[in-house]
Amino acid sequence: MRIVIAGGSGFLGSHLSDALVARGDQVVCIDNFVTGRRSNVAHLLDQDSFELIEGDICDAVHVDGDVDAVMNLASPASPKDYSAFPIETLDVGSIGTRNLLELARAKNATFFMASTSEVYGDPFVHPQTEDYWGNVNPIGERSMYDEAKRFSEALTFAYHRTHGVAIRVVRIFNTYGPRMQSDDGRVVSNFITQALRGDPLTIYGDGSQTRSFCFVDDEVRGFIALLDSNEIGPINIGNPGEFTMLELADLVTELTGSTAGIVFEPLPSDDPKQRCPDITQAREKLGWEPGIDLRTGLERTIPHFAAELGL
């Protein structure tokens, strides 16, 4: 297939580009490098099956030739980034998503929307199933990301119902692995970076809040399983193994040999107390489930951060 990936030089987008090129697809990567990195895809630039276009999907999107799928992974995804670019995040979820949907419509291509578990907000249902409507603060400090993704989902389904665009919608749960930026601001990168620098690990609140962590290779495998299926979604792709922040901190401390300990800070507003996917649909409809446990994934991730920090 010939596949356009918006945000294809980002953390997830670059791993997706790798996987698609490796299986024989042609990839057209579009990125404005606000949060993505050219270095993430530098190893693909000399391959005939990979093309890099520097551009902003909030402008009109033009791609010559046939296109089989348009995959929208374009958005700041860490609290640090979407807090720094709140309006841009809302724009990419609305204007950018619509431009990509128009491209898919014009090319008669499948449209793949990378949504997020953030659409569930601070959930009252646990683990979260795809039919749960969520508990989101539409004007809170995280709302620019939550509402951008919720709108993207609504727009994607509107194009499907109104124009017959073939769609796939995935809801991504916390993903980690190589190519995350050391200053990403998410908990895995925070903990590993602090531990490697010899700083205390910062836990917000009392550390009892939970997350589930999916290694990037598993996540990308789930994306491709959904893309290749006839399922519309939304479908949760994440690891249902649930860990408290204290448990994650203890594991990072063990694997890095850190002796700096832990410090506690106040919990940010609208921070979910629990986050864990129900992946029944992914198992039954896609034949997918994660295969890499947290310890193994962290062992594969920590050397990346050490190199990133020059350690």
217 contacts 296 by C-beta, under 8 angstroms? no
Q: What is the DSSP letter of 113?
A: E
The DSSP line for 138-151 is: TTSTTHHHHHHHHH
Cα R_g (the chain), whole angstroms = 19
**Sign for the pseudo-dihedral over CA of 97, 82, 219, 59:** positive
Angstrom distances, CA of residue 242 to CA of 219, 302, 310 = 16, 20, 31
Distance CA 16, CA 200 (A): 33
Q: Which amino acid is at 297?
A: G
What phi and psi values does residue 14 have, to the nearest 5 degrees? -70, -40
E-strand ranges in the chain read: 2-6, 26-31, 50-54, 69-72, 110-116, 167-172, 175-176, 201-204, 210-212, 214-215, 235-237, 242-244, 262-265
- What is the signed CA dihedral for 164, 63, 19, 294, rounded to 10 degrees? -70
- Residues with catalytic function: 145
Three-point CA angle 6, 92, 141, nearest 5°: 130
Angstrom distances, CA of residue 196 to CA of 93, 189, 247 = 35, 11, 18
